[in-house]
Amino acid sequence: MTEAHTRSTSGRSGRFIALEGPDGAGKTTLAAQLAEIDYDTALDRLASVGTGQGLVFVSRRQISRTSAYAAALMEHLSTMLWHSGDDPVLSDGFWASLQAAWFTAHSETVIAPLLASGFDVLVDGWLGKFSAQLVSQSFTESALEVVFERVLKPDAVVLLATDPAAAYDRGREFRASELGMHTGLDGHELGRDSFITYQTRTADTLGLFAQRRGWRVVDVASSESVDDTVSRLSSVITELRHYPSTAATVSAHLLVTGDPRVPTGRGGSQALDAQGSHYRWPAVDEGLEKAVTAQMHRSLSDRDARGVIGEFESAFAEFVGTGFAVSFSSGTSAIHAMSRAAGLRPGDGVIAPAYTFFATASPFAHDGIEVSFADADPVTGNVTAATLAAAIRLNTRAVIVTHMWGVPCRMDEIVELCRERGLMLLEDCSHAHFASWRGQRVGTFGDMAAFSCNQKAITTGEGGVLVTNSRTHRDHALLFGHYNKRCLIEIDSAAAYYGFAVTGMGVKHRITTLGAAIGVHELGRATEIESRRRATLDRYTTGLAANPVVSPVLVDPASRHGLYVLGLRFHPERALVSREQFVALCHSEGAHAIDIAGSTRDISGEPLFARTDPFAAWTPPPPRPRPHLPGVEAFDAKFVKLPLWGYDGDEPLVERYLAVLDKVSRVVAL
């Protein structure tokens, strides 16, 4: 490796200046005349002394001189690039990627060493004209920022503003791409007219860039002699060589939405509004208002289940298909009641998913039950019989599974495992109100199941429900949230635990009557909620079928999705950018509701589960090493989610989100 190459990563001390302008503006001629030292001399200086000064013109077509190998490689690459624009079937994404690679290599091997050694560098066009063309196709400036992330940004740019007609008439030969191929003009005959149309458009976009990015604009009249232009330009360049760099401010000038001047259908006007939340939750319609108002007049507090609380619980039990439902103030408290009703004690063990919302497991930890964590299937994010089996310990007495993001776990094999090993099976169905596994509703596979009803597919505002077919579990659950009147009425006085009916077990976690009224109303329209959300899911599934970069996390064909959110897998190996950059690009197109999950992730390292804190009311479990969770890591690193809209008037929003996903994916696809 040469001296020059090793320097390329050190900081720059020279100035990097780009001349930009449409084809025919005279960038190359002017840059060559403005230079103080030619490239070969600069290279010699670099090789012998390692430092230098003066303004070097580096042609965009300059082949790297850093090694013979690079020279051979770059010769082919530059030939290819030179002609790539003339290929009518080359996709924009391919072309952008190729150019990005070339610009990056050129930056690092040719420009950076010169700058690091003290030379100032002048180029006859850098990203400007090319970006202008991409913006007029389907790219936004923010997309280009990502695609060209590693390309060296000039410290200053001078835009040569010139009349395209005059440029054409100066008589230079133009290539097909300069005449407007790839720009929507290829149906026309390529010649003077197409050149003027295309170059005027490029000049306009460059003008817009100049305005936003603080480029210097120099008008170049066709009547002016080259010498006169050079002398005017050289004073501008001298000034810029001593002026503070603008490179740092470039990224602050992003276009948030598509350029409104871009022709419809080519990307620009498809962008969503930049403002506002797109996902409304819940739909507060007249029916809901009436239900809540009526309940306010009926009762604001019920001590038993003879009013709206009983109505809600019966409707919920029917909805899931279980014998009993007991409502709670939250999903978390329903899970807590489930853990106590399961009869688990400090020192007992439960297996929970490592990848879930923490409230699946945290109520167990609260009571000193040792949680061990099971890995996930890398494709669905769910625990499997195999990952659960691997987490079984001597003290394990129960298993809790979560049907992540609405995708049901493979319940037949999990039921089988629990039966074989004598483990109690609990389900957290908070993501899965509408899910079934091979014909059987989730929430009915185990001993008990819990549903959160806060911002989930069926809501009570805040609230949660425990369902079971066991009367004993139902009674225990009542004792852990609904003491006194209700327990006295509903628990058989012959039961061994009837003596606790008045006090319960010391806690109260009742749902409010208003929450229950909301729940009754929502369950009344469950069929409508389901069919709308399922239609949205189907639309996304079809719309994303050919997407190269993201694909929906789908359920087993004989099963049904729970319709909480739509999970997507981002495929980093097929994209130019990271998942985070991809999501940022979608946001820059206005699709804010596309999201990377925050608190739902690997929870196994949370200190609560070690309970070494002074609040623990029992002896903490022995310290255990953090489990190895390759499935969780693989799933979580690729996961992106979208709301499943299901309200009146949401259809156009779904179409626009699909359009954004399509557009951004095309931009970043490899």
Ligand X SMILES: *Cc1c(COP(=O)(O)O)cnc(C)c1O
Q: Is 478 helix (H, G, I), strand (E, B) or coil?
A: helix
* Of 327 and 372, CB closest to ligand X: 327
Provide the minimum distance between the beta carbon of 431 and ligand X in the complex, in angstroms, as a whole number.
Answer: 5
Residue 339 sits in the site that holds ligand X (CB under 6 A): no
382-421 binders of ligand X (CB under 6 A):
402
Inter-CA distances, 98 with 80, 81, 351, 548, 614, Å:
10, 8, 49, 18, 59
197 binds ligand X (CB under 6 A): no
**Is residue 452 at the binding interface for ligand X, with CB under 6 A as the rule?**
yes
Of 356 and 444, the one with the shorter C-beta distance to ligand X is 356
Tell me: does residue 454 bind ligand X (CB under 6 A).
Answer: yes
> In the complex, which residue's CB is closest to ligand X?
331
Whole-number minimum distance, CB 333 to ligand X, in Å? 7
Token digits for 362? 């945290």
Nearest-CA neighbor of 515 among 285, 236, 311, 229?
A: 311
| Nearer to ligand X (CB atom), residue 491 or residue 644 | 644
Q: Which residues fall within 8 angstroms of residue 205, CB to CB, at 6 or more apart?
A: 132, 135, 136, 259, 261
Q: Which is nearer to ligand X, 229 or 372 (CB)?
A: 372
Q: Is residue 362 near ligand X by the rule CB under 6 A?
A: no
Residue 348 found at the interface with ligand X (CB under 6 A): no
The correct pick among 229, 327, 332, 512 for binding ligand X (CB under 6 A) is 332
Cβ pair 606, 358 in contact under 8 A: yes
User: Does residue number 460 form part of the binding site for ligand X (CB under 6 A)?
Assistant: no
Angstrom distance (rounded) from CA 48 to CA 3: 9
What is the Cα Rg of the chain in Å? 33
Task: Compute the least distance from the CB of residue 564 to ligand X, in Å.
Answer: 8
Question: Cβ 15 to ligand X, closest distance in Å?
Answer: 54
User: Closest approach of Cβ 439 to ligand X, in Å?
Assistant: 23
| Alpha-carbon span 437 to 382, nearest angstrom | 13
Query: Is residue 85 a contact point for ligand X (CB under 6 A)?
Result: no
Q: How many residues form the binding site for ligand X (CB under 6 A)?
A: 14
Q: Is 464 one of the binding residues for ligand X (CB under 6 A)? A: yes
Q: Hey, what amino acid is at 204? A: D
Q: Is 138 in the site for ligand X (CB under 6 A)?
A: no
User: Per the structure block, which two tokens stand in for 206?
Assistant: 């460059």
User: Given the rule CB under 6 A, which of 62-70, 155-163, 304-312, 357-365 is the region that contacts ligand X?
Assistant: 357-365
Point out which span in 200-208, 428-436, 440-448, 607-615 binds ligand X (CB under 6 A).
428-436
| 331 near ligand X, rule: CB under 6 A | yes
Question: In this complex, which beta carbon is closest to ligand X, that of residue 327 or of residue 581?
Answer: 327
∠646-459-301 over CA atoms, to 5°? 150
Q: Should residue 428 be labelled a site residue for ligand X when binding is judged by CB under 6 A? A: yes
Q: What is the C-alpha separation between 35 and 568, in angstroms, rounded?
A: 52
Q: Residue 196's closest CA among 179, 175, 210, 184?
A: 179
Q: How far is the CB of 459 from ligand X (least distance, A)?
A: 9
For 335-359, letters b (16+ CB in 10 Å) and e give bbbbbbbbebeeebbbbbbbbbbbb
Please report how many Cα atoms fall inside a 13 Å half-sphere around the Cα of residue 172, on the Cβ side: 17
Of 16, 357, 437, 570, which lies in the binding site for ligand X, with binding defined by CB under 6 A?
Answer: 357
Residue closer to ligand X by CB (options 339, 356) is 356
Which of 70, 158, 317, 359 binds ligand X (CB under 6 A)? It is: 359
Cα distances (angstroms) measured from residue 658 to each of 273, 527, 544, 652: 15, 25, 8, 10
Is the preceding peptide bond at 643 cis, omega within 30 degrees of 0? no
Judge contact between 654 and 279, C-beta under 8 A. no
Segment interacting with ligand X, rule: CB under 6 A, options 154-162, 423-431, 501-509, 576-584: 423-431
Q: Does 567 bind ligand X (CB under 6 A)?
A: no
Contacts with 609 (C-beta within 8 Å, 6 or more apart), sequence order = 361, 365, 371, 603
CB of 264 to ligand X, least distance (A): 40
Q: Residues interacting with ligand X, by CB under 6 A?
A: 330-332, 356-357, 359-360, 402, 428, 430-431, 452, 454, 464
